[in-house]
Structure 1
Amino acid sequence: MKTVTTAAGYDDIRACLAEVDPAAKSAAVMALWARVEAAGFDPGLPSVPADRTPPGRPGRPELVDPRKVPRRRLGSDAGRAALVHAIAHIEFNAINLALDAAWRFRDMPDGFVIDWLSVAWDEARHFTMLAERLAQLGHAYGDFPAHNGLWQMAERTMDDPLERMALVPRVLEARGLDVTPGMIERLREAGDDPTIAALEVILEEEVRHVEIGSRWFDWCCGQAGVDPETTFLHLLRTKFAGRVKGPFNVPARMRAGFSERELAALENI
Structure 2
Amino acid sequence: MARSQPHDPRTVLAVSKALTVLREPDPHAKAKKTDEVREEITSWASESQGLAGVEEVNEFDLHEIPDKPARSSLVRIVPPRELKSLGKGGSLNSRKAILHSLTHIESWAVDLSWDIIARFTIALDLPFGFVLDFATVASDEARHFSLLRSRLEELGGSYGDYPAHDGLWESAEETSASCMSRLAVEHCVHEARGLDVLPQTIGRFRKNGDEATAVVLETVVYPEEITHCAAGLKWFAFLHVRDHCEGEEGDRDGCLLEIESLRIGETFSIADILERHGFDRAPLIESFHSCVRSHFHGRLKPPFNEEARARAGFTAEFYEPLAG
Aligned residues: 263
- Secondary structure of 2:204 counterpart: helix
Q: Which runs of 5+ in 2 are unaligned?
A: 1-9, 246-282
Match of 2:311 in 1: 255
The farther-off stretch of 51-60 and 129-138 is 51-60
What are the equivalent positions in structure 2 for 1:104-253 lying under 5 Å apart? 104-105=119-120, 106=122, 107=124, 108-200=126-218, 201-225=220-244, 227-253=283-309
What is the identity, as a one-letter code, of the residue corresponding to 1:53? D
Residue 79 of structure 1, CA deviation? 1.0
- Secondary structure of 1:145 counterpart: coil
The farther-off stretch of 208-217 and 257-266 is 257-266
1:96 and 2:111 are equivalent in the alignment: yes
Q: 1:70 aligns with which of 72, 84, 94?
A: 84
Cα deviation, 1:123-145, whole Å, max 9, x if unaligned, reads 00000001101111111111100
Match of 2:35 in 1: 30
Percent identity reads: 37
What is the identity, as a one-letter code, of the residue corresponding to 1:141? Y
- Secondary structure of 1:236 counterpart: helix
Residue 47 of structure 1, CA deviation? 4.8
The farther-off stretch of 19-28 and 224-233 is 224-233
Provide the alpha-carbon RMSD of the alignment: 1.9
Residue 174 of structure 1, CA deviation? 1.4
CA–CA separation in structure 2 for the residues paired with 1:146 and 1:115: 28
CA–CA separation in structure 2 for the residues paired with 1:10 and 1:234: 29
Residue 69 of structure 1, CA deviation? 1.6
Which structure has the bigger radius of gyration?
Answer: 2
Q: Which runs of 5+ in 1 are unaligned?
A: 1-6
- Secondary structure of 1:248 counterpart: coil
CA–CA separation in structure 1 for the residues paired with 2:114 and 2:14: 12
Residue 78 of structure 1, CA deviation? 1.3
- Secondary structure of 2:30 counterpart: helix
CA–CA separation in structure 2 for the residues paired with 1:23 and 1:229: 38
Q: 1:20 aligns with which of 6, 22, 25?
A: 25
Q: 2:99 aligns with which of 76, 84, 89?
A: 84
1:265 and 2:265 are equivalent in the alignment: no
Question: Per the alignment, do residues 47 and 27 of structure 1 end up closer, same or farther by CA in structure 2, a change over 3 Å counting?
Answer: farther
**Conservation of the 8 A alpha-carbon contact between 2:14 and 2:131:** no
Match of 1:4 in 2: none
CA–CA separation in structure 2 for the residues paired with 1:172 and 1:69: 19
Question: Per the alignment, do residues 238 and 10 of structure 1 end up closer, same or farther by CA in structure 2, a change over 3 Å counting?
Answer: closer
Q: Structure 1 length as normaliser, TM-score?
A: 0.92
CA–CA separation in structure 2 for the residues paired with 1:171 and 1:186: 23
CA–CA separation in structure 2 for the residues paired with 1:193 and 1:136: 13
1:55 and 2:60 are equivalent in the alignment: no
Match of 2:280 in 1: none
**Conservation of the 8 A alpha-carbon contact between 1:75 and 1:190:** yes
**Conservation of the 8 A alpha-carbon contact between 1:78 and 1:137:** no
Match of 2:262 in 1: none
Cα deviation, 1:18-61, whole Å, max 9, x if unaligned, reads 11111111110101111122334869554511434311111021
The farther-off stretch of 38-47 and 139-148 is 38-47
Cα deviation, 1:191-238, whole Å, max 9, x if unaligned, reads 111111121110110000000000001111112326221111122223
Cα deviation, 1:215-269, whole Å, max 9, x if unaligned, reads 00111111232622111112222321111111100011111122332243244x4
